[in-house]
A and B are shown apart, each in its own frame.
Chain A
Amino acid sequence: MLISGWGNYPKIDANIFKVATTADLKSKIVKNRSFITYGMGRSYGDCALSENIVDLSRLNKIKNFDENTGELEVYAGVSIEEILEFVIPKGWFIPVTPGTKYVSVAGAISNDVHGKNHHKHGCFSNYVDSFELILPDNSVNTCSRDKNTELFQAVCGGVGLIGVIITARLKLIPIKSSYIDTVEIKCRTLEETVSTLKSYKDSTYSVAWLDCLSKNKLGRGVVYIGEHSKGMGLETSSKHKVSVPQAFPSFLLNYYTTRLFNGMLYNKSKRKKTIGKEMYDSFFYPLDNLKSWNNMYGAAGFLQYQFVIPYSAGLEGLRTILEFVARSKRGSFLSVLKILGGSNKNLLSFPIEGFTLAMDFKLEKGVKELLTQLDKMVLGFGGRLYLAKDARMEAEVFKASYPNWKEFVRIRKELGADIKFNSIQSKRLGI
């Protein structure tokens, strides 16, 4: 069956096996020579693609929840959406969430995802107490910071290449309201956007949208700040979603319409600073309301390019990259800038202290060449790319920017995971 990641590229013909129990999974480990696990299909590139795919989406069950302590035990395939619908009415929230709620818990661990609060709370793995992992020899191992530490640090961010997560214990945070108190600040220049983000570093959630196309006002944007509200109830959201059809005429998304959209977004509010209140899902997951928005880029798909560069590369680093992209006129429909806090001990976790920018590029002639150029710039600044978004990075770029890759490969070999678990990405990156 044809399958792809969220970017609709690459599309591959794969054998897909859905598993519903541990016994099921173990039999797949015995029967298949090599496979990769797949959850909600929200990784953009090819980190969850392989000739054989074991689909964990049926393991979407809750195992246990302690309403008093906020300790939640779930199966690997449960999505953040399902968790939120379940825990919000009880006054709890997921401490770290990516920009979509349609990700599985195993996917969030395997990509060690971060959210708008990375500068304060770090990655998803920070709130994972432990998980059960099935290794190539079919043994079930509990991994935490204290037990099987080496496995824990290899699996978090290890893009499914060490073992298969079957259950996980998470620590939730208490909330009084499902609303977020927000502040929106319009910034006229890149300097202003960056300094505004920095000045709010004590706020829990912060993110900026950047206009990467405007010729004279490159880097202007809107900074969004958020804190969990103290009042207004614990409702969950059930908004009706609009869907983008597969046959969406992707030529509608071009340089000019994208510029128009960016201009509209910037000028939405007349005021410099807007204070408001939003439901959690419109603050954290604005794109989830446009179901299958990935189809907007047409059948050829798109590449999301997310890099991080250290503070030392600074504003100038960001500006150099942005100007380079703007000159190519292949600007991104939506570009998101965030500040990341420090890195953690997980071998392949993406964040390092610095700026991270995510841009979308419709897949067309010349884009890959452009991104290869960007790779060089990012490497030059001491940065790296996010594996969850990647579908094209070359092995040398990866190895130069993820210094722990050798340790990761050593662990894989020791466990026999290099034979059992492989994705198109892992083969391309030479791990």
Chain B
Amino acid sequence: MNILVLGATSAIAEEFIKINSTPGNNFTLISRDEERLGIIVNDIKARGASVEESLILELNAPENVVRFFEKNKIVQQDKVLLAAGSLLEQGKVENNTDYLIEQFNINSLSQITFINELCNRALISKNGVLSCITSVAGDRGRKSNYLYGSAKKSKSIFLEGLAHRFANKGITVIDIRPGFVDTPMTTHFKKGLLWSSPSVVAKIIDKSMRKKKSKVVYAPTFWYLIMLVIRNIPRFLMHRLNF
């Protein structure tokens, strides 16, 4: 089976890759960190799976993605996981438009472009599965991270439309919305009960991709209930809350 992972060096992606590093699986890995990619490639091979290619791509500008597809010949994929992202600083956005554009590109536009190129070039097989990590942050705009949230939400809407487009055509589209995950991206956060490990989230992603059903997956499931509440907090009350 051909598996492509964008953002292959993210903690969740690495766990997903580990689960799937079994003989017969053939990976195409994309990340911006060359040394780390090399480490992962060794691990995959030691575990008996193969690596078609490992490629470097910077997502800060969507043109990079277009060029990437012109330059590299990607084989048709059975499974695709988009796990790239950067946890931006909301405070920095408010007086720095260049930063806003760059971060929105990394977390949304470049990835949407990537999916679009995959679809237009028919690089997802007939019964293929595409899943993309978005975030519960996209479920409601909050002052502490609304750029991150809006980038994630824009991906969610794109995925929703894509799932509609491919409905009854064999291709599955899954929107993965993790809650708090203990990754290098969140090292400086204080961890509590609501936090999950990357391996737990990766297992949820793997399971939902095997089920091949287009849907939104909250990871873990209890985030569905939390976000149901948060989405329904009336605006007047929300404006009095500080989170």
Contacts and interface: CB of A to CB of B under 8 A. Distances in A.
A62 B45 CA distance: 9
B39 A18 contact: no
B50 to A, nearest CB: 15
A223 to B, nearest CB: 37
Contacts of A1: 187-188, 190
A326 to B, nearest CB: 40
Contacts of A75: 39
A23 B42 contact: no
Interface string A8-35: 0000000011101111000000000000
Contacts, number: 39
Contacts of B9: 20
B43 interface: yes
Interface string B27-60: 0000001011001101100110000000000000
B46 to A, nearest CB: 4
Question: Which of B35, B39, B184 counts the most A-chain CB atoms under 10 A from its CB?
Answer: B39
Interface string A48-60: 0000000000110
Given A21-B35, A22-B35, A86 B42 contact: no
A322 to B, nearest CB: 40
B201 interface: no
Contacts of B39: 20-21, 59, 61, 63, 75
B190 A62 contact: no
Contacts of A324: none
B33 A61 contact: no
B133 interface: no
B11 interface: yes
A23 B35 contact: yes
Contact of B42 (A18, A21, A22, A62): A62
How would you classify the secondary structure of chain B's contact residues: helix, strand, loop or mixed? Answer: helix
A63 B40 CA distance: 9
A61 B35 contact: no
A86 B188 contact: no
In this complex, the interface size class of chain A, counting residues with CB under 8 Å from chain B, is 10 to 19
Interface in A58-76: 58-59, 61-65, 75
A65 B46 contact: yes
Interface string B108-140: 000000000000000000000000000000000
Contact of A62 (B35, B43, B184): B43
B35 A58 contact: no
A18 B46 CA distance: 24
Contacts of B42: 61-64
Interface in B91-121: none
Contact of B11 (A21, A58, A59): A58
A21 B187 CA distance: 17
Interface string B1-40: 0000000010100000000000000000000010110011
A16 B187 contact: yes
A65 B44 CA distance: 11
A18 B40 CA distance: 17
Nearest to A246: B193
A57 to B, nearest CB: 10
B184 to A, nearest CB: 5
A61 B40 contact: yes
Nearest to A90: B48
Given A20-B184, A61-B43, A62-B46, 17 more contacts: A1-B190, A18-B187, A20-B33, A20-B36, A21-B35, A21-B39, A22-B35, A58-B184, A61-B39, A62-B47, A63-B42, A63-B43, A63-B46, A65-B46, A75-B39, A86-B46, A86-B47
Q: Which 5 A-B pairs have the closest CB atoms?
A: A61-B43, A21-B35, A62-B46, A18-B184, A65-B46
7 contacts: A18-B187, A20-B36, A20-B39, A21-B36, A22-B35, A58-B11, A63-B39
